[in-house]
Structure 1
Amino acid sequence: MPEPRHPTSLDEELLEAESYAILSELTDAQRLLRIQDELRAGFARLSHIGKAVSVFGSARTPRDHPRYAAARNLARRLGEEGYAIITGGGPGIMEAANRGARDAGAPSIGLGIDLPHERSLNEYVEVGLTFHYFFTRKVMFVRYASGFVVYPGGFGTLDELFEAATLRQTQKIRYFPIVLAGSDYWSGLVDWLRSTVEADGNVGPADVRSLVVADTVEDVLETVEAVEHRRPRGQRRRAA
């Protein structure tokens, strides 16, 4: 059996703590303190941002790709409507959305994650936090957002998408729009959920309908604007 190695991240240190492959460098008491510190820091930095939208998508999308331009434009439009923009703080679609927020003068928030061989937050992040644990970071993405807009991406993007879908299905969150930007990318997934997963009885029709596919900025804005229940306290529209 090979000698155990040092963990490359605190997530690995936590999740592999009982295995022979990784050296345990912290006690459970120390781990709990670190988790508590991350949650406390997130709550303190984000508690006053007002209404916001979390935008997800591939870190591999180059700046000259049409999706980069689309995400930047959407974030700018959302910013002009008074929304802060929250992303994972990385390159690609995340950078585009933070850049669009800056174009509009809206709060541009990046919630980074400590990963091996990853660079720091993108240059368009105004309010930046770096998390060691994926699960503490996920709390911030949902708690402070009025909804998710999900551009094409890989496992990380799908993880955030289905995390939100599960929270909606189990009613841990309510009235939370999940918008999939780009029917050319997402329609196959939604069709499969409907024709296979729903048909097999593993989800209900309402679960699939909770994923809104949109191709225009106007459709995204309409979906997000319709959800008054997700406004922060004191920021709901006044009756005319």
Structure 2
Amino acid sequence: MTRTVHPNRQDPGGRPRRESNGYRKGPVLLRGSLVPEETTDARLLKPEQDTSWLHQDPWRVLRIQAEFVEGFGALAEIGPAISVFGSARVKAEEPEYVLAEEIGHLLVEAGFAVVTGGGPGVMEAANKGACEADGLSVGLGIELPFEQGMNQWVDLGVNFRYFFARKTMFVKYSQGFIVLPGGFGTMDELFEALTLVQTQKVSSFPIVLVGSEYWGGLVDWLRDTMVARGTISPADLELLPVVDTAEDAVEAVLERVRVLAKERQAQEAASVEAGGAPE
């Protein structure tokens, strides 16, 4: 969609302001010259700050706490959900967009809400597919140093200042991840999830890569370099199945979800028989 500049609409500095989704700073919307040059995350992690941090950090802790409380409150009742990750730079006419849209649609048909980062590209496509299938479309946005905004297909959107709070929501409220071609942000979410599963910080949940041409080189490197050097085990590669179609992606993640559900039920039954209470 092309956005136009209206000459009669100006920012506080007197310059014409383009129409946009704006810059989200927590619950606050900013546009034009009001958009800050530095994000909340950047300020928190900035080295060599003066002693004012002694007074600022306690308030930051409260803000961080508030983000978790707001996120938990907003997402606690979304029901079974699958997260879809991928590039924000994918255009609507590209194959990955169409693929993500189909994945969102199929997930809803399977009884799941669809969770994305709420932005454009692959995220927008997955949200659109979920929305058009009359399912719940969720977006978890993040404050960035450039205007991005929540895409129009999000039914339930939560904006975060801190990446770590947002990551917690993805893992806590998703039963699996479907990962399409993407950049550093996608890789960040992918390897965060892999690490949590590998170290058993979370119950094992499915992670499916979509696009063998895109991900094949990465999987080859993991096998030929990391497994060969012994920095990961051969079994770790089983955490990363690669498929090429929307149907295979959804079936792969749902099959693993079903297996894990049966395992949990068996564990609970065994605990009850042993006289204990399920965890």
Q: TM-score normalised to the size of structure 1? A: 0.89
Residue 146 (1) aligns with residue 175 (2): yes
AA at the equivalent of 2:213: D
Distance change >3 Å, CA 30–CA 172, structure 1 → 2: same
Q: Tell me how large the CA RMSD over aligned residues is.
A: 2.2
Contact conserved, 2:100 with 2:246, CA < 8 A, in 1?
A: no
Q: Distance in 2 between matches of 1:198 and 1:230?
A: 30
Residue 10 (1) aligns with residue 40 (2): yes
Q: Identify the residue that residue 67 of structure 1 maps to in structure 2.
A: 96
Q: Identify the residue that residue 46 of structure 1 maps to in structure 2.
A: 75
Larger radius of gyration: 2
Residue 169 (1) aligns with residue 198 (2): yes
Contact conserved, 1:58 with 1:93, CA < 8 A, in 2?
A: yes
The 10-residue stretch of structure 1 (123-132 or 219-228) with the greater mean CA deviation from structure 2: 219-228
**Aligned pair partner of 1:123 in 152, 155, 169:** 152
Q: Identify the residue that residue 107 of structure 2 maps to in structure 1.
A: 78
AA at the equivalent of 1:211: L
AA at the equivalent of 1:88: G
Residue 223 (1) aligns with residue 252 (2): yes
Q: 1:90-239 residue pairs with structure 2 within 5 A?
A: 90-226=119-255, 227-228=257-258, 229=260
- C-alpha displacement at 1:55, in angstroms? 0.4
Q: Name the SS for the 2:229 alignment partner.
A: coil
Deviation track 1:208-235 (CA, whole Å, cap 9, x = no partner) reads 110110112232222222223369x99x
Q: Name the SS for the 1:53 alignment partner.
A: strand
- C-alpha displacement at 1:24, in angstroms? 4.9
Deviation track 1:4-55 (CA, whole Å, cap 9, x = no partner) reads xx87111011111x4249x859622111101110000110010011111100
Contact conserved, 1:152 with 1:182, CA < 8 A, in 2?
A: yes
Deviation track 1:91-111 (CA, whole Å, cap 9, x = no partner) reads 000000000000111110000
AA at the equivalent of 2:38: T
Query: Deviation above 4 Å: which 4+ runs of structure 1?
Result: 23-26
Q: Distance in 2 between matches of 1:169 and 1:144?
A: 19
Residue 19 (1) aligns with residue 48 (2): yes
AA at the equivalent of 1:147: G
Distance change >3 Å, CA 100–CA 186, structure 1 → 2: same
- C-alpha displacement at 1:128, in angstroms? 0.4
Q: Distance in 1 between matches of 2:165 and 2:55?
A: 18
Distance change >3 Å, CA 97–CA 26, structure 1 → 2: farther
Structure 2 residues not aligned, in runs of 5+ = 1-35, 266-279
The 10-residue stretch of structure 1 (45-54 or 7-16) with the greater mean CA deviation from structure 2: 7-16
AA at the equivalent of 2:42: E
- C-alpha displacement at 1:149, in angstroms? 0.5
Q: Name the SS for the 2:42 alignment partner.
A: helix
Q: Distance in 2 between matches of 1:97 and 1:81?
A: 14
Q: Name the SS for the 2:107 alignment partner.
A: helix
Q: Distance in 2 between matches of 1:230 and 1:13?
A: 42
AA at the equivalent of 1:82: G
Q: Distance in 1 between matches of 2:261 and 2:112?
A: 12
